[in-house]
Structure 1
Amino acid sequence: MSISKPYLLFLGDVKDELAAKTAHGVLDWRPEWCLGQITLPGCKAHTTLSEMSLTDATEAGAKTMVIGCVNAGGVLPDHWIETIVDALNHGLDIAAGLHIELGSIPAIAEAAAKNNRKLHDLRFTDLTFPTGKGDKRSGKRLLTVGTDCSVGKKYSALALQKGLADRNISSDFCATGQTGILIAERGVAIDSVVSDFISGAAEHISPATKDDHWDVIEGQGALHHPSFASVSLGLLHGSQPDAFVVCHEPTRSTMRGVSAPIPSIQDVIDLTIQLGRLTNPDIRCVGLAINTMMLSENHAKNLIEELGEAHKLPATDPVRFGTDPIIDHICAEFKLV
């Protein structure tokens, strides 16, 4: 995938920072690609980038406006269309991870054609996938799973892959969502795949490889989430993980967008092993990734220590405190050093 850079990040008028996780993700992992942000009145999310008008952005060299925010269901609010059309008229390409194709909206399609601009639909692909087969594949795989959606599965996967690479362990990050695809410039938005073919798509993005190579696969949804469990299950079966890391945000009492309570970490470990054994009987949990963004440093460290001891597993906040405890455990478990 080739998207012209640098990016202007569009945050719309979303009501919290989690809704702008695409913008934050791209900025955090590819800051050199990001030039500025643009928001609409009432927006409650902000990055560390300067606010720019479309004119300012194009004069500064921006090439693509990335829709860096999402709504439930990946829909495009009608009142965002005007800004997207205006961006096209200013000579910018558009990249979005919506569940509808940008070109299906007449005003956007007409502006793109008139200005000879590209529309990048990150959730759509020309690839077709077979149904999953579950046959044992060579190589090693690690999947991040969660007690909820939007708890840090992508950040944890990126940090863990970097941790492996820093120790000269052959590894790749496998993107399964629109933000990961923007960061890695490859991957499949797994939640846009027809359900019969999700496990086949997961097999496609983490194919057979060398025995000593690790694919670190970005998790999606949560097995206990009423809205997204089906995607999580297909990804689990197709990924065939040898190892998984449980990602958890400790300040929530209910799952995002629903009234269902947050499951315990142990419940997630047990269910992941029970269901994952269908395609990998040797699946095991190798650590806990605790998202402590909302906690003070002392509180975060104390909680991480407490959870690690309670589950007899290495625990860390991979972004805040690094991945060494989990990488050390993986190296010991799989005799990598």
Structure 2
Amino acid sequence: MLQNNNREIVRKIAFRSMKQNRIRNGIVILAVILTTFMFTTIFTIGASLAEGMVVMLTRQQGTRSSIYLDHPMAAQVQQIEENRYLYAAGVQIQAGTAYTSGEENTAILLSYYDTTEFEKNYTPAVSDVQGSYPTQAGEVMLSRNALETMHITSPKIGMEISLLTDGETKLFTLSGWFTDYTNSQDGFQGFVSKAYADQLGLTAEKDGRLSISAKIGLQEKLSDSLDAEVQLQDGQDFDYTSDMLNETVSNRVLIAGLFGTIGLIIVFSGYLLIYNVMYISITKDIRFYGMLKTVGTTPKQIRKMVRLQAFSLSVVGIPVGMLLGTLASFVAVPYAMRMFG
């Protein structure tokens, strides 16, 4: 028996049938848009909530680091950097305490952080980083809170900052500033360059501290690995502190499960709505499909017409729903939080 290539005819009948069901089409498209919108919104808000929790806990902790080693040797640093559970290991050196001119009670803790320590361990705990880390001996980078104690509300790169160090007033050049969220009772944070630390004769092995952070959820494995593999000198020991980011692992699983369940309920509800609309439409057009069968249309071809109509309506509704959901999550919700926050 010869077969006809009637795909184009089936396609034409399907689209002509759609033109006769404008109200049905509108309802299906609206249902697809709403379902996609809600699913996209739930997914993006859930992801943003999990990410926001990481940021909040990092800022509360003041750093990504939770393990420290005083007076690290170069060989120890290299061995730690090769650990598979490690996120980052950076050197920090305390370079003394400065005071704002005329206010001895306002202390600024000066520190030198190497690139890894500043960018990977410290920067995630602050925001609004402006300018750059100091590179010259006379440069300094301060927190915005420290600048405000000096009545500097509109800082500028290159402006002179007067600080009292070692009993004498020194002029520094402001290379940048940032907003931090830690308790400032012991003093505000300030950063100096390696050249400044070198002028004071400070070195990592003699005066420094290795600041170590684990990949999220792997602090215990990193701690066990460091204890077993790193050879320490006399008087050295790893200092372990509580890692708040470990809490996010279980919390993120809980959030993912909660929003995933809500998303499945939304998808299932949307499916039932669209299915019922299409079912009612097909039932209404039962005579039309019966006439098609009398002229030789097979059940397979009729199912193909219905699927083609559903696919065409979804192609219109899904992108619109995703776009609206994305706008709601990343534009409307943040704007509302700023307005009422």
- TM tier relative to shorter chain: under 0.3
Greater share of residues in helix: 2
Give TM-score scaled by structure 2 length.
0.23
Q: Which has the larger radius of gyration?
A: 2
Relative contact order: is structure 1 or structure 2 higher (C-alpha 8 Å, sep ≥ 6)? 2
Give TM-score scaled by structure 1 length.
0.23
